[in-house]
Amino acid sequence: MSRRVVILGATSAIAEQVARRFAAAGDRLYLLARNGERLEAVARDLGIRGAAAVHHAAAPLDQVERHRALLDAAWDALGGVDILLVAWGTLPDQRRCEADVDETLRQLHVNAGAVIALLTDAANRFAAQGHGTLAAISSVAGDRGRQSNYVYGTAKGALSVFLQGLRNRLHRHGVRVVTIKPGFVDTPMTAAFPKGPLWASPERVGRAIHRALLGGPDVVYVPWFWRWIMLVIRLIPEPVFKRMKL
Amino acid sequence: MKDAGYCSWGRLCARDQQVRPLRWTPAALEPEGRPLLGRGLGRSYGDVCLNDGGVLLDCAGLDRFLDYDPERGRLRVEAGVSLAAILERVVPDGWFLPVTPGTRFVTVAGAVANDVHGKNHHRAGTFGRHVRALGLLRSDRGALTCSAEDNPDLFRATVGGLGLTGLVTWVELQLKAVPGPAVEVEAVPFASLDEFLALSRESDGRWEYTVAWIDALGRGPRAGRGVFFRGNHVEGEAPAPRAGTRLAVPPGTPGWLLGPAAVRLFNALYHRRQAARRRRRVHYLPFFYPLDGIRHWNRLYGRRGFFQFQCVVPEDAAVAVLGGILERAAAAGQGSFLSVLKVFGDVPSPGLLSFPRPGVTLALDFPNRGERTRALLRGFEDRVREAGGALYPAKDALMSPAAFQAFFPRWRELAALADPAFSSGFWRRVTEVAA
Ligand SMILES: Cc1cc2nc3c(=O)[nH]c(=O)nc-3n(C[C@H](O)[C@H](O)[C@H](O)COP(=O)(O)OP(=O)(O)OC[C@H]3O[C@@H](n4cnc5c(N)ncnc54)[C@H](O)[C@@H]3O)c2cc1C
Ligand SMILES: NC(=O)c1ccc[n+]([C@@H]2O[C@H](COP(=O)([O-])OP(=O)(O)OC[C@H]3O[C@@H](n4cnc5c(N)ncnc54)[C@H](OP(=O)(O)O)[C@@H]3O)[C@@H](O)[C@H]2O)c1
């Protein structure tokens, strides 16, 4: 049986790799992203790679008032949805956020508020249909606030906690909620960073996310070793942690 | 923007090189003072894929399929799509690459830029012959479509053009129909270069693929012995090698692991294993890509890396020149992990600077032992030049400007058609001291 999959932020490097796995399995896709030209290229590629159907619609996904119509269209086109993945996101300039609270609030909106709004709407649809997998890409950055990127971390932390509550709520409806926490991934979002051995390719991360969407634990670190790195980071006592340059 | 760290397959690295990873085909290219150069998967051994003092436009992220006609076997893909991705998609439909090099981890644009050849050169010619059209983005002229009909001069210059004519953005290929993933292979041991040539002559009519591995360390009566492989696509199943069991050579593997003793052992083992089994049906992966199963095998040569030497010489000079080179390499104890022989056919190469031409080609690896190795290879260059042959830029890090200009007499035509904003380490090395 081919799956019906909705991906929001489908032009993300990570999301595109996840989508390729579904395409190769002959699944049916509904893709949303804000840049129509890029989305078109991604959709075309996924069709050739084997997706049974690829629908797509371009829209700025942080405009909450448009969510309902966007999801209506996706549900209509696919006749129900088995898997929904929220992948869009931005990496704020931490320094700029420190000096500009409007920027901070904008970033919290794109990475947390708008995502939570979308998930709230989707959750009600999943609860009504009584099955499905709802997932979002959070980040290891949400596991502990650090001076280098705590605005991003705040948004991802809020998202992780939201997903945790949602999981608890939807469990009795037969709906699975998956929290994905990537570590460092070599994508346009992180193009400016020097790369080292902890960095993973979007392909590797996409493969792991695809696997997690099909089954297994509900909270996944990708690659897996981040679970242990973050365990150690969370264990450091606050009086010590606050002195560290992280 | 990332800093250096992008080296070549032979582990040559560039100084002061910036890298710009591309994920979306740019609409335009601005000249920016530093020379630009497209970059594929870095499977070239020397400096054709390096740009010291310049900018590499990393195309590995331009890896989308654009159009596929499974009825006619026509495929249009972005520049950075790998041959591996193409095979994975098209083999189940009964299509195959018309030409493939000995690794599938190269991009289509890289395959065009070096106009690569495979074990079927005697039948199919080079990769460029199967390119129906390509997209070229120039800093001075914007986006162009190039083919035998449209911008034919730029098409000829871009095929085998070493990345100098601009950024290749897409490539349209004519695939080849095959009955399935299986290849029937026959391995025939031979005792000398003469025997190799006779085997080639006898096989090239009936076999689509022919190539030989030679024992590059054999001296005296054992000089020139090897195993000749010939293969054809056949019907029937062949089990694919299991995915996920690929070996990987870790970084920092010391070079002495590949000392002469290790090489001798490897060659002997290989020789026995291959010679013992004669005709068999195998999956195409191990047949075409025996080394792709070992990731980062180039690390076996240690941190100093290695040189590859690939030449072609006219057939009547082959025994003398190639025999001489093999003998000299064995005597110098600088034996090779990989020594490959193949007779090229006379199918004309479409590119201005394509390397393949009628004759016999030999490829050898040499661990980098500094000046000793360089001197040895300079000597080989002279022999090839005297014989009217050529060296392969994709494998080269040492060729002299004079030799390059003799091997590729049309290089000035390429220079005239090159994008003014593009250059490479190789190009500066072999042309800037132009006569
Ligand atoms: C194990 C092994 C076996 C091999 N066997 C063979 C063989 O049998 N036959 C053969 O012919 N070769 C062979 N090669 C060499 C290899 O096929 C070529 O070097 C090939 O060009 C590498 O492609 P790449 O994608 O890695 O490109 P790179 O090595 O990164 O670049 C190669 C050239 O392509 C240019 N380029 C890359 N992308 C673009 C672009 N978008 N636009 C314009 N120019 C671009 C670069 O500037 C450079 O000049 C082998 C290499 C290895 C490692
Ligand atoms: N890369 C990492 O190291 C890393 C680590 C942990 C978590 N993550 C998370 O992984 C997810 C994917 O990121 P990536 O690494 O794949 O980066 P990416 O390739 O830059 O993708 C980010 C995507 O978000 C989209 N986007 C941003 N703002 C949007 C908006 N307002 N409306 C609609 N789309 C918007 C972008 O669209 P455009 O193409 O139109 O710009 C782009 O497709 C993000 O949630 C990110 O936070 C990444």
Res. A51: pLDDT tops 90: yes
ipTM above 0.85, yes or no: yes
**Mean pLDDT for chain A overall:** 97
**Domains (range + CATH), chain A:** 4-241 (3.40.50.720)
What pLDDT is attached to residue B71? 98
- A9 C-alpha to center of ligand 2: Å? 7
What pLDDT is attached to residue A111? 98
> Residues of chain A with pLDDT > 90: what percent?
97
Confirm or reject: Cβ of B103 under 6 Å from ligand 1. yes
- B26 C-alpha to center of ligand 2: Å? 19
**Which residues in A lie closer than 8 A to residue B23 (C-beta atoms)?**
13, 188
What pLDDT is attached to residue B177? 98
Catalytic residue (one of A30, A150, A152, A221) = A152
What pLDDT is attached to residue A71? 98
What pLDDT is attached to residue B268? 66
CB count, 10 Å around CB of B162? Answer: 29
Residues of chain B with pLDDT under 70: 1-4, 243-277, 335-338, 433-435
- β-partners of residue A30 are A6, A55
Q: Which ligand is nearest to the CA of A92?
A: 2
B209, B232 Cβ separation under 8 angstroms: yes
Residues A191, B21: C-beta atoms closer than 8 Å: yes
Confirm or reject: Cβ of B50 under 6 Å from ligand 1. no
- A12 C-alpha to center of ligand 2: Å? 5
What pLDDT is attached to residue B246? 59
Residues A45, B1: C-beta atoms closer than 8 Å: no
Task: Please write the tens of the pLDDT for every residue from B391-434.
Answer: 999 999 999 999 999 999 999 999 999 999 999 999 999 998 64
- Looking at this protein, which amino acid is placed at residue B73? G
Residues A44, B5: C-beta atoms closer than 8 Å: no
What pLDDT is attached to residue B304? 85
| Residue having the nearest C-alpha atom to atom 9 of ligand 2 | A137
Interface test with A, best of B64, B67, B82, B169 (most A CBs within 10 A): B64
Show Cβ contacts of residue A192 under 8 Å, excluding neighbours closer than 6 positions: B1
Calpha distance A87→A89 (Å, rounded): 7
What pLDDT is attached to residue B3? 37
Is residue A150 annotated as part of the catalytic site, yes or no? no
- B2 C-alpha to center of ligand 1: Å? 22
What pLDDT is attached to residue B251? 63
What pLDDT is attached to residue B260? 61
Nearest to A38 among B5, B24, B66 (CB): B24
Contacts 24+ apart (CB under 8 A), A17-22: A17/A202, A17/A203, A17/A205, A17/A206, A17/A207, A17/A209, A18/A85, A18/A87, A18/A206, A18/A209, A18/A210, A18/A213, A19/A46, A19/A51, A20/A45, A20/A46, A20/A49, A20/A206, A21/A206, A21/A207, A21/A210, A22/A46, A22/A51, A22/A210
What pLDDT is attached to residue B218? 74
What pLDDT is attached to residue B435? 44
What pLDDT is attached to residue B43? 96
Task: Please write the tens of the pLDDT for every residue from A78-96.
Answer: 999 999 999 999 999 999 9
What pLDDT is attached to residue B363? 95
Res. A239: pLDDT tops 50: yes
The residue of chain B nearest to residue A203, with distances taken between CA atoms, is B61
Q: Which residues of B touch A (CB under 8 A)?
A: 1-3, 5, 21, 23-24, 61, 64-68, 89
What pLDDT is attached to residue B332? 86
Confirm or reject: Cβ of B269 under 6 Å from ligand 1. no
Task: Please write the tens of the pLDDT for every residue from A123-170.
Answer: 999 999 999 999 999 999 999 999 999 999 999 999 999 999 999 999
Calpha distance B32→B15 (Å, rounded): 18
Task: Please write the tens of the pLDDT for every residue from A5-47.
Answer: 999 999 999 999 999 999 999 999 999 999 999 999 999 999 9
- β-partners of residue B359 are B344
**Domains (range + CATH), chain B:** 65-178 (3.30.465.10), 182-239+249-398 (3.40.462.10)
What pLDDT is attached to residue B300? 76
Calpha distance B430→B53 (Å, rounded): 16
Calpha distance A26→A145 (Å, rounded): 40
What pLDDT is attached to residue B254? 57
